[in-house]
């Protein structure tokens, strides 16, 4: 198909393309060398050693961070939080320590319970795999903006407004907030947990 005369071409993408190539190259290298896979020393390696001697011979470092909630989209704040501990973990790994830096998502608490209840209702509405969901119908059902006749609202606190905006997905249904990065098969497996027992809030399979 021939390009339109009005097609906008991205200029000067060499730096971006170089970064993407570097990312893929080193991700493949890390996977091949198992850089981020850490095993505890075997019983044979620690035989006859005291705990202090084991710690000196096989030093370790454990790091953790506030896992993001599953009821919204990831945003720059998550990247900022994880980047600091990521740098620390990399530094400790370069020192030769056995680094354990687990990743995960926060799947407990009332926000997740509320999201789980929404998912259950959406499964009942659209089916287990959301096969009856029509994105076009959702767009058409969105209410049109209307002029307010009331007095202008008080300006929201900048910090609170930014936090709320960063968590907003712009999507009407809960299941769509994680459909961008989750396959339908895997998502279906995860959702089965929600429909059992007392509708617990474990969104992760």
Confidence of residue 195 (pLDDT cuts 50, 70, 90): very low
pLDDT for the residue numbered 162 = 57
Residue 203 predicted with pLDDT over 50: no
- Residue 85: exposure state from Cβ atoms within 10 A (0-12, 13-18, ≥19): middle
pTM for this predicted structure: 0.54
Helix (H, G, I), strand (E, B) or coil at 150: coil
Q: pLDDT tens digits for 81-134?
A: 889 999 999 999 999 999 999 888 888 888 888 888 888 888 998 888 888 888
- pLDDT, mean over the chain: 75
pLDDT for the residue numbered 77 = 85
Confidence of residue 145 (pLDDT cuts 50, 70, 90): very low
Q: pLDDT tens digits for 40-84?
A: 899 999 999 999 999 999 999 999 888 888 777 778 888 888 899
Which long-range contacts link 119-126 to residues 24+ away (Cβ below 8 Å)? Answer: 119/174, 119/175, 119/191, 119/194, 119/203, 120/194, 120/195, 120/199, 122/173, 122/174, 122/175, 123/191, 123/194, 123/195, 126/175
Share of the chain above pLDDT 90, in %: 28
pLDDT for the residue numbered 153 = 56
């Amino acid at each position: 198909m021939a390009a339109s005369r009005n097609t906008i071409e991205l200029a000067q993408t060499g730096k971006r393309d170089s970064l993407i190539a570097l990312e893929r190259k080193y991700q493949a290298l890390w996977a091949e060398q198992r850089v981020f896979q850490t095993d505890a020393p075997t019983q044979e390696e620690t035989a006859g050693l005291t705990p202090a001697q084991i710690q000196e011979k096989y030093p370790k470092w454990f790091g953790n961070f506030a896992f993001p909630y599953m009821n919204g989209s990831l945003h720059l704040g998550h990247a900022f939080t994880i980047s600091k501990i990521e740098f620390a973990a990399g530094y400790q790994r370069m020192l030769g320590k056995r680094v354990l830096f687990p990743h995960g998502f926060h799947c407990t608490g009332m926000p997740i319970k509320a999201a789980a209840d929404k998912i259950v209702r959406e499964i009942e509405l659209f089916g287990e795999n959301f096969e009856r969901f029509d994105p076009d119908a959702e767009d058409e059902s969105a209410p049109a903006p209307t002029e307010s006749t009331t007095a202008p609202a008080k300006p929201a606190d900048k910090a609170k407004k930014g936090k709320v905006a960063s968590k907003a997905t712009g999507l009407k249904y809960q299941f769509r907030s994680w459909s961008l990065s989750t396959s339908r098969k895997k998502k279906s497996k995860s959702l089965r947990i929600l429909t059992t027992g007392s509708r617990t809030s474990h969104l992760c399979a």
